[in-house]
Structure 1
Amino acid sequence: MSENDSAARLLLPWHKAVRSELSRRWRDQGWPAALLLEAVRGSGKLALARHLAMDALCAEPVSQPNGALQACGACRQCLLMNADSHPDFIVIAPADSRVIKVDQIRSLTDFAYTRPQVSKRKVAILDPADALNLQAGNALLKTLEEPGSDVTLILLSEQRSRLLPTVRSRCQYFRLPKPALAELNDWVAGRLVSGKSAATSKHDEVLLPELVAAMTLAYQFSPWRTLEALRADGHQQPVLMTVMETLAACVEGRQDIFAGAQVLAKVPVEELLDLLLWVWASVFRLQLSEAAASEADQTLAQSSALKDLQTLVTSLESEAAETAYQALLAFRQQFNEGRNPSVPLFLEASLMKLREGRRNDEKAGKPAAVRPVDFLSALTQSQQLLR
């Protein structure tokens, strides 16, 4: 099974309790006409939605200790689901563009208003529902206003504010909780080892707890995005490390601004914006934290995994990091609104501004590097700035 197939089908350990709770709730209340499931990209929400669909379609569901009814995995319905050939289940996703179009929603409407062929109900997943264009959203609204009695729509969203308010109001809403950081880090490390795709000798630091934790936070607790970012071969390094390395080199004058901007511009735009937001939130948080003033810890000081983030903390005036963060928020808003701002020009201007915000030689190097426990604690707290 490929990584993409795994992400779409593998129920993550921390989602098992969510599945059980939702299945139990719907056993008592009946399956909803529409469920809005929100979580970050790469969180495993599609796999969870597929398992919920199996629970709804299964002919012989098995009772769980908490009273939930979950798919047996062996009946005809379950076998059809596993073979991707169940006639009463569909997934609506963007086809040749980044949007779900009105014709796809019209097909969904036809699906919703016909009787189930082999099961007692029908299930459709929209992934991601954020991709609905205006006409498609309005067409979906009509289906939501007059839902069939035997159909459930599961809308997957990364940011529900992108959906029409009228669509949101007609769905049961559930926000997937984030896993514990330690549990997620252990899962990522285990997948790397089992897949024999751990770092090569050139980048043995990739499995250091500091780096895994930092990347987990940078990718907003997204297990599949974190795992993908850590799968580097001997000629590459994780994108987060490249971003931090480039920023630190440009700030300290070791790399030309325009060359640095070109390096950063090679990263996919949405991923780059996420990583830069996390870097500047972390720098700003660490500079404000009492932990940032603690005595240097030799172990962390020698860790190549996070040295570039530490360089940014100690080399920049706090105002520079805050300004970079605010400018990035404004740029991302323009990007999300489809105004097509120039990424290279923004990066060049940002790097120039950052170099101007470098601390003078007398101040550089202070505050000292922080202790590992304090550092990771502060990194975790920095995630609050991204919410």
Structure 2
Amino acid sequence: MPFRDIIGHRKLVGLLARSIARESLPPSLIFSGPAGVGKFLAAISTAQALNCLSPVPFTSAEGHEAVGVDACGRCAACTRIARGMHPDVLILKPNEKGNIKIDPVREAVERAGYRPFEGRRRVTVVDSADGLEIAAQNSLLKVLEEPPASSVFILVTALPDTLLQTVRSRCPQLRFRGLPPQDVVAALGKLGHDERQARRAALMADGSIGAAVALRDAEDDDQDVRELALQVLAQAAGSDDGRRRIESAKALVAKTGAGVTSERDQLGLYLRAMASILRDVEVLSTGADRALLANADLQPAIERLTAFAGARGRQAFLAIDRALAAIERYANAKIVADWLVLQL
């Protein structure tokens, strides 16, 4: 995907395009930000722009001035990079336990020392780099500090603070923010989703296209997910009984079908539904425009959650955010659910 096709993040991709044009791109970078906002796509776009056979200008936000280099997106190099088949572009991903062990990292470091096989630059993209084991991170230090002239390392992570300080200090960090709802709606529209449903998913997804797509894929279960999220919040609002809360947590990791492949996926859906309900509580309690409600059809029930207005709601929202980060790191879903309900 060329830089120009990335939704949002215009300043960041413009910075990358200019750096490539000026041959000043740092040899090691961290792309950080929430899951599903486009960090990995930007890393692949960078690899394409560095190795494209027919690069094109990247224009300013106004579309009038060429401010950098972009990939054509059609040549053999761009196509092979997009398919993960280019010999000079290596992508490292976590294993099924969420870890990236030292052996594949050692291989990547060794490869980086060779001249590119057919492109201009060797690019190594480490996706979910927070999954790097300590030994694997340590094995990266030398190549990050003294990188070969023809190599680029990009570490993609939603949790940059979990990386060793010695790794972070060697890599300039580009911070990708959550996207505005209109950008998420536009992305869902390109995928063929109904505008009204896309808008609700966008409001629930907190700026993450990936989360919005997951929510739309689980459309058949949407009502059940939101109703259970409401029940858990209502129970927490009306009772301090820890045992009852723990009992309610069991339902948060029960699979319901449609697009759900694991307990973590299911818990993620419930957490995002709870977060969207808490945002709606804030909208109602502050008298903000009700057009901002993500769950307008549930307004009567949401109006009864006044216990979550103000400080308690913000505390609950932060707890949900921490729980989402934990399951992105492959934490045990049952433990995360139990912890969360006790924080509400």
Query: Per the shorter chain, which TM-score range?
Result: 0.7 to 0.9
Q: Tell me, yes or no, if structure 1 residue 58 matches structure 2 residue 44.
A: no
CA–CA distance in structure 1, aligned partners of residues 331 and 83 of structure 2 = 38
Superposed, 1:301-312 pairs within 5 Å as 303-312=296-305
TM-fit CA distance, 1:157? 1.2
Deviations 1:112-167 (A, max 9, x none): 11111111221110001111111111111121122100000111110211111111
Q: Find the counterpart in structure 2 of residue 102 from structure 1.
A: 102
- Partners in 1 of 2:35 and 2:159 — Cα distance? 9
Classify 1:279/1:298 alpha carbon distance in 2 versus 1 (closer, same or farther; 3 Å): closer
The alignment's C-alpha RMSD in Å is 4.1
Choose from 188, 205, 211 the match for 1:216. Answer: 205
Could you report, residue by residue, the CA deviation over 1:30-86 in whole angstroms, capped at 9, with x for unpaired residues? 232111111211112211211110000123322333231212334442243244321
Letter in 1 for 2:145: E
Secondary structure in structure 2 of the residue aligned to 1:304: helix
1:339 Cα offset (Å): 9.7
Indicate the structure (1 or 2) with the bigger Cα radius of gyration. 1
Q: Partner of 1:153: helix, strand, or coil? A: strand
Q: Is the 8 A contact 1:24 1:66 kept in 2?
A: no
CA distance in 2, matches of 1:286, 1:14: 25
Q: How far apart, in 1, do the equivalents of 2:182 and 2:280 lie?
A: 22
Equivalent position of 2:214 in the other structure = 228
CA contact (8 A) 2:278 2:308 kept: no
Deviation at 1:347, TM superposition (A): 6.0
Say whether residues 1:271 and 2:271 are aligned partners: no
Partner of 1:385: none
Change (3 A) 1:227 1:115: same
Residues 312-354 of structure 1 deviation map (CA, whole Å, 9 limit, x = unaligned): 13x668676567567768888998797998456546656xxx7
1:2-46 alpha-carbon deviations (Å, 9 max, x no partner):
xxxx9x999432245532331112322423211111121111221
**Which amino acid counterpart does residue 148 of structure 2 have in structure 1?**
G
Could you say which residue in structure 2 is the equivalent of 1:48? 42
1:317-328 superposed matches below 5 A? 321=313, 324=316
User: What residue ranges of structure 2 are gaps of 5+ in the alignment?
Assistant: 59-64, 255-262
**Cα drift, residue 107 of structure 1:** 0.8
1:290-309 to 2 correspondences below 5 Å: 290-291=286-287, 303-309=296-302
Give the aligned partner of residue 3 of structure 1.
Answer: none
Distance 1:240 1:9, change over 3 A: farther
Residue 97 of structure 1 deviates from its aligned partner by 2.3
Counterparts of 2:37 and 2:340 in 1: how far apart (Å)? 29
The separation in 1 between residues aligned to 2:227 and 2:43, in whole angstroms, is 33
Of residues 262, 271, 279, the one that matches 2:250 is 262
Unaligned runs of at least 5 residues, structure 1: 1-5, 200-205, 355-387
Distance 1:317 1:51 in 2: 42
CA contact (8 A) 1:33 1:152 kept: yes
Tell whether 2:197 aligns with 1:207: yes
2:231 corresponds to 1:242: no
Equivalents in 1 of 2:173, 2:151: separation in Å?
A: 17
Assess, with a 3 A threshold, how the Cα gap between structure 1 residues 119 and 273 changes in structure 2: closer, same or farther: same
1:104 to partner: Cα distance: 1.3
**Percent of residue pairs identical:** 24
Superposition pairs for residues 1-387 of structure 1, below 5 Å? Answer: 11-15=5-9, 18-64=12-58, 65-188=65-188, 190-191=189-190, 194=192, 207=197, 209=199, 211-212=200-201, 214-217=203-206, 221-234=207-220, 236-237=222-223, 239-248=225-234, 251=237, 260-266=248-254, 268=264, 271=268, 274-275=271-272, 278=275, 282=279, 285=282, 290-291=286-287, 303-313=296-306, 321=313, 324=316, 342-343=335-336, 345-346=338-339, 349=342
Q: Distance in 2 between matches of 1:321 and 1:348?
A: 13
* Count of aligned pairs: 323
Q: Distance in 1 between matches of 2:234 and 2:336?
A: 19
Scaled by the length of structure 2, what TM-score is found? 0.75
CA distance in 2, matches of 1:214, 1:262: 26
Structure 1 position 230, deviation (Å): 2.5
Q: Give, in whole Å, the separation in 2 of the partners of 1:284 and 1:242.
A: 16
